[in-house]
Each structure stands twice: as C-alpha cells, then as structure tokens.
C-alpha cells in the first residue's frame, strides 16, 4: 500500500463534516418540511458549527501554531485545511443567515411567532419590558470598562456580550471609551412578551440590554453597541497516566474549558472596523477568525421558539413508538428472552422495554448482579434510579461511567457521584481509552444454574435521545454472549489482559483486524466468482486502511453500498478505483445513528451491529463492542427490512459524488417516492391480526435510486 500522503483519492475529513452540516441546513431550507421542524434544523446547524470550532478548528490551529507541516491523507497541510474551512464556513454562514432573514423569520411571523425590534413595540410592551429589565436584568449586569486600570475581561466560551462605545467629557474634552457588558447565562436569550391571545412575541435579550445601556453608564453618551461572541478551545487535556484521580482531573479541565484559547469571534456585521480590529488584537485572533453576523448571534438559542406543545400544525405529526411485537403482552422479559433473541429498532419501537428490563432486574429476587456501561445517560432517573434501587434490593451493581463523553462530562460526573453515594460500584474503565460500548449484563440464578442476560446496543442508555436517534438493540441470553460480556466487564473493572472473545468483537483489540478480514474475504469471493457484497451503515468513515481495503474490494468486483450520515473520506464512483461503491447520506426527522455491517459471504450472509464507526478514534482509542446477529429471523429482518428500506430511500437520501459534493436522490419516473424513516414508522404501527404477517415485508436490497448517468 502506498503512503497515504500520496493518495489523492481521499476526501478531507473536516470538509466532509462541513458538507454533512450543509445537509442539515438543506433540511432547514426545504419548504416541504413543517416550519418549526425547519427551525429545529436551523438551530442544529449553529450548535454543530460551535462544536466544530471548539474541537476541530481549535486542534487545527494548534497544529499550525506548533509549525506542523505534515499532510493529511488527502494531501493538504494544516494551513491549507484551515483556509479551505474558512472559505466553506463563510459560505455556509451566509446561506444560514439568508435562510433566517429571507425564509424562516418571515414565515414564523406569518404564523404569529415574531421577534420584534424595540421600535416596533407598543407603549404597553415598552412599559412591561422596562419593569422586566429593572427587576430581573439590571441587578445581574456588570458593566466592564476597558482601560489601563481595567484590562479586557476574561469572557466565557460562547457567552453573549455587548461591545459598547461611549463618549464622556473630561476637562471639557470629549473622550471615547470602550466597555463590555456581559449578558448573564442565567437569563433567557429571548424575552417573551405577555399576550392574551395565541400570538407569541419576543425580544432579544441583547436588544433589551442595549436599549437601557445609558442606565449602566450614567453621564456618558452611548455612541453604539455591538453584540459579539467568542468560541474557545473546548477540548479536555487529561494525562490519565499522571493523575491519581481521574474524576478530579476531568473536573479541573472542565473549569479550564470555559476559558480556553479563543478560536473564533462572531460580531454584529455593522460593528465599525476599528472596534473589530481592537477586539481581534486583544484576543490574539486574525481576520480569518472573524465572522460578521447579520442576524441572531447564537441561532441555537432560537430553539426556544420550537419548545413546548404550541403550533402543532407547524410540526411533524406526533409518533408514539409501540412496544415491539416480540415483547407485546410479555410480563416476564426474562422468559421472553429465553424463548429467542429480541431485536429492537429505535425510535420506531419503544425504548420502554429497555427500561423495563433494567427495572425488572432491580426487583427480581433471583437477580444477583447488574453491570452496565454509561456513556451519555442524560441523567435519566429511570436508568440511574434502577441501578441505585438494585443496590437497595441487595444486588451487586457496577456502572462503568465514561467521564470524558464530550460536552456531557459535568453531567456524568454528577451522576457518578450520586451512584457512588447510593452504593453502586462506579469505575471509569481503562486508562487511555474512552468507554463507548453499550452493554448491560444481568446475572440471574435459575434453579441450580446461573444464566446471564445481555443487552447490547448501538445507542446510549438515554431514554430521551432514544426517541430522536435511530438505533438497534439486542436482548440475548446465549451462553457465549454472556461469557463474553462477563469477560468484558472484568477487563474494564479489573487488571487483566484482553482474553479474546467468542462472539463479541472489541476495539481496540480485534475490531480493526476483523473488519479488514471481512472486507478481504468479500474481495476474495468476488475474484473466485462467488456472490460478494458489502453494505455498511454508520456515522463516519475516516480510517485510511479500511478505505483502502474497500477500494481493493471494489476493484475485485464487490458491490459496496455505504450509508454514512456524516463524514466520509472515501471517494466513490472513481473509475478504476471505486466504481462499484456508492455512498449515501440520510438526514431526516430522526438522527441516523445505528451501525450495521453486512457481508454477503458467498450466500451465507453475516450481519454485525455495534457501537463503532469506522474512524481511528473508535477503532484504536475507544472500547467499542460489535456483535453478530445470529438468530436467522432477526438477521433476515436486518437485511430485508432495515437495510432494504434504507437503501430504497429516494426522498431524503443524498448521494456522495467523487468530488465530495452531495446530490439528492431522484424518484424514477413512474415510481413511488420512498422515505425510509416514514416507512419505518408505518412498519412499526400495530396492524390488525389478519394483517400481522405483513408487518415485516421482505424488501429486496434494491439498486441505487441515483441515476448512473450523473456527472460531477
């Protein structure tokens, strides 16, 4: 294999992620989506960009500052990547605010959801706002002068601030000054005005404070004010090998995160150039780090307009996930699992079954022990409460809590402490590795035997996100799965070498090698004229060696369909390299999150499901678990229903072209539009007994809905 720096057939990781965020923005721009759902996507674009700058751009700037001149697999140096990112983000920001100003805000106003300027308010509204300001805003404001006696304040990451220019006479001469007013995070960014009818009118907090600035600076003339916002490096830097207490080390880093190095400055577009330049100099930033904003400074705060139950006509039709047929009416989950393996497809089948499994284990007199991994729980009281109740009921309970789940660190620390205080044995896994696996093990005494029940999943133990993310989870009591799960927890909680597994495939120990072996086997079968095909669904594809293996399989004649929501560094459809590979991305109502790997294996298909994307961090720096689907009926369901329906999507799917751009699928003339997530909701809807056999229709693994004649 030739050096990756010499392989121009890789797409850039950062630019590929930005194209994913563009697909999210496309959903905000899509007039076929309900208005408040468009607003939701619009806010997600902004929060996604924030995290991109906090982590990816921050890391890239560190490489540039350290003089790193190495090239990424796509052949670009850090400065070249940064320049390309800047160009692409500026275009995206322009499109984002054009969407707000030209489409979303006017449409919301037509439906009586308005954000008003102070000048548009009635006398009664102004009086109410002044009372609100005096009573709830002014007491928590602190005007901060900027002069030799008052250095520039240490502003928190992503906080809203006002840069104020004012004039004050001294010795009869007018002198100009700059000051900063921080908008406290405890205050809502949108102030809702009182209304007796169904109208929903708001004023931005920044405008409210700006209107009363003279009250904060008496004896001065306010020349102007401009909202601005900093984005800081938010990566945690914890040396696990040199810290006696990981929890305390992560807590200390969390305090530093709020004041990390600035990486981006966003400011109102009408801010005078001298003021902008002064800010950039103070923050050690340059012109490429500056983004002029013509609209709300932090659009993610507009999510407030979406929240609540108002305006149902502007939302997706509600969907209440039913209990999976395999568990419907089953009061004894352990007995149901003993009958056969059970596969759940979330959010189309209710996550309540997972909660019932855990809660049932806490009160079952025959359950001896419960062990589970916790990555992002959201602090749901039903999950952590079940573990604490189990201790009270005499069970041995172990929770492997990942403290470094990005941007959930504080939440996980809080719940780790509560679990410990309530008698749960809490551990933080292996030094040097994030615990990203999703595994729960229940050990139960049944007569004279011990039986182990295992729950394995692609998504976190978080009932809230389980309603928003598409995931798979499996219940099984197969002996080999139970033995593997036991060995996995012994590895995470004790001191031992990786023992090897019978059924589970575990990163960073053997997953990468296993995937390479499976891809190579398909290539060998194709060369021998045997049926060969690969279908893989995950969030990101970055790992160079696996990409090279897929290229080799394509060249051997293997048909490869990749369903990748986010980053993809592979170039599909390149003659002589990847013409047998298609890549599609689906961005829709629910966040595509399940990871499924299908290998034809000469008509003896193998299907694996798990927590790992095909990225270096997942394969080499995290504990991930991938597991086979061994029940023939469930395997067929994954292939024919889940993968088949997904591949048939010709409405929300977008095709990756060789140049890195995406193009929407096109509904062939005379064919019915197919929207996979809508189809899954229909499939999950309970049917009369007479039609029960139609619940899981066989859907062939269809050909690509994308025209073969498309050119870049």
Catalytic annotation, residues: 436
> Could you give the CA distance from residue 493 to residue 507 in angstroms, rounded to a whole number?
16
Q: Which residues pair with 179 in a beta bridge?
A: 145, 164
Q: Classify the phi-psi angles of 378: left when phi > 0, otherwise alpha if psi is within -120 to 50, otherwise beta.
A: left
> Could you give the CA distance from residue 456 to residue 464 in angstroms, rounded to a whole number?
18
Q: Which of 572, 576, 538 is nearest to 557 (CA)?
A: 576
Exposure string over 337-376, b if 16+ CB within 10 A, otherwise e: beeebbbbbbbbbbbbbbbbbbbbbbebeebebbbbbbbb
Q: Which two tokens stand for residue 459?
A: 């998504």
DSSP readout, 424-488? -EEE--STT-EE---EEEEEEEETTEEEEEEEEESS-S-TTGGGTEEEEEEEE--HHHHHHHHHH
Q: Residue 326: is the preceding peptide bond cis (ω within 30°)?
A: no
Phi and psi angles of residue 62, each rounded to the nearest 5 degrees, phi first: -65, -40
| Residue 629 · residue 475 · CB < 8 Å | no
Between the CA atoms of 510, 513, 514 and 520, what dihedral angle is there, to the nearest 10 degrees?
A: 180
3-state helix, strand, coil in the chain (%, to 5): 40, 25, 40
Distances (CA, A) of 329 to 332, 355, 369, 686: 9, 16, 26, 13
């Amino acid at each position: 294999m030739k050096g990756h720096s010499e392989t121009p057939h890789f797409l850039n990781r950062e630019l590929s992620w930005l194209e994913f965020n563009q697909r999210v923005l496309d959903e905000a721009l899509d007039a076929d989506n309900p208005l408040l759902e468009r607003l939701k996507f619009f806010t997600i674009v902004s929060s996604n960009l924030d995290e991109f700058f906090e982590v990816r751009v921050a890391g890239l700037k560190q490489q540039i500052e350290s003089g790193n001149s190495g090239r990424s697999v796509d052949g670009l140096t850090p400065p070249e990547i940064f320049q390309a990112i800047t160009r692409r983000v500026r275009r995206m920001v322009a499109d984002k605010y054009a969407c707000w100003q030209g489409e979303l805000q006017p449409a919301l106003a037509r439906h009586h959801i308005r954000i008003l300027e102070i000048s548009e308010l009635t006398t009664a509204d102004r009086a109410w706002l002044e009372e609100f300001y005096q009573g709830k805003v002014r007491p928590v404001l602190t005007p901060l002068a900027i002069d030799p006696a008052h250095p520039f304040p240490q502003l928190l990451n992503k906080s809203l601030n006002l840069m104020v220019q004012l004039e004050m006479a001294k010795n009869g001469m007018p002198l100009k000054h700059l000051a900063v007013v921080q908008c406290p995070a405890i205050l809502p960014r949108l102030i809702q005005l009182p209304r007796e009818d169904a109208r929903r009118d708001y004023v931005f907090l920044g405008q409210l404070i700006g209107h009363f600035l003279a009250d904060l600076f008496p004896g001065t003339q306010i020349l102007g004010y401009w909202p601005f916002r900093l984005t800081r490096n938010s990566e945690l830097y914890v040396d696990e090998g040199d810290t006696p207490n990981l929890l305390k080390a992560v807590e200390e880093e969390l305090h530093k995160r709020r004041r990390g190095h600035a990486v981006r400055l966003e400011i109102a577009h009408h801010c005078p150039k001298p003021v902008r330049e002064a800010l950039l100099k103070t923050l050690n930033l340059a012109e490429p780090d500056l983004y002029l904003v013509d609209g709300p400074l932090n659009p993610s705060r507009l999510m407030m307009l979406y929240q609540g139950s108002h305006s149902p006509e502007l939302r997706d039709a509600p969907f209440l996930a039913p209990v999976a047929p395999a568990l419907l009416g089953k009061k004894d989950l352990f007995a149901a699992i003993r009958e056969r393996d059970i596969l759940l497809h979330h959010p189309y089948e209710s996550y309540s079954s997972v909660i019932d499994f855990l809660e049932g284990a806490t009160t079952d007199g025959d359950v001896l022990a419960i062990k589970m991994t916790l990555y992002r729980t959201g602090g749901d009281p039903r999950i952590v409460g079940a573990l604490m109740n189990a201790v009270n009921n005499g069970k041995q309970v172990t929770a492997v809590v990942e403290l470094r789940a990005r941007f959930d660190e504080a939440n996980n620390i809080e719940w780790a402490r509560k679990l410990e205080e309530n008698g749960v044995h809490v551990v933080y896994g292996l030094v040097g590795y994030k615990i990203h696996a999703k595994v729960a093990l229940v050990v139960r005494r049944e007569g004279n035997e011990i039986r182990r029940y295992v729950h394995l999943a692609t998504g976190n133990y978080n009932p809230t996100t389980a309603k928003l993310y598409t995931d798979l989870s499996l219940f099984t009591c197969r002996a080999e799965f139970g033995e593997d799960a036991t060995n996995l927890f012994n590895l995470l909680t004790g001191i031992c070498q990786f023992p090897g597994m019978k059924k589970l495939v575990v990163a960073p120990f053997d997953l990468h090698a296993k995937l390479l072996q499976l891809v190579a086997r398909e290539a060998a079968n194709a060369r021998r004229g045997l049926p060969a095909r690969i279908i893989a669904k995950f969030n990101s594809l970055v790992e160079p060696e696996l990409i090279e293996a897929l290229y080799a399989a394509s060249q051997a004649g293997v048909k490869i369909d990749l369903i990748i929501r986010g980053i993809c560094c592979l170039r599909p459809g390149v003659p002589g390299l990847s013409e047998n590979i298609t890549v599609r991305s689906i961005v829709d109502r629910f966040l595509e999150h399940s990871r499924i790997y299908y290998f034809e294996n000469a008509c003896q298909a193998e299907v694996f499901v798990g927590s790992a994307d095909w990225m270096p961090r997942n394969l080499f720096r995290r504990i991930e678990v991938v597991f086979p689907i061994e029940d023939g009926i469930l395997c067929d369901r994954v292939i024919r229903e889940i993968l088949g329906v997904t591949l048939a999507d010709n409405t929300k799917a977008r095709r990756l072209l060789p140049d890195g751009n995406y193009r929407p699928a096109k509904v062939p003339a005379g064919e019915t539009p197919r929207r996979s997530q809508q189809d899954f909701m229909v499939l999950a809807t309970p049917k009369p007994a007479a039609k029960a056999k139609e619940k899981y229709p066989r859907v062939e693994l269809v050909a690509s809905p994308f025209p073969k004649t498309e050119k870049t």
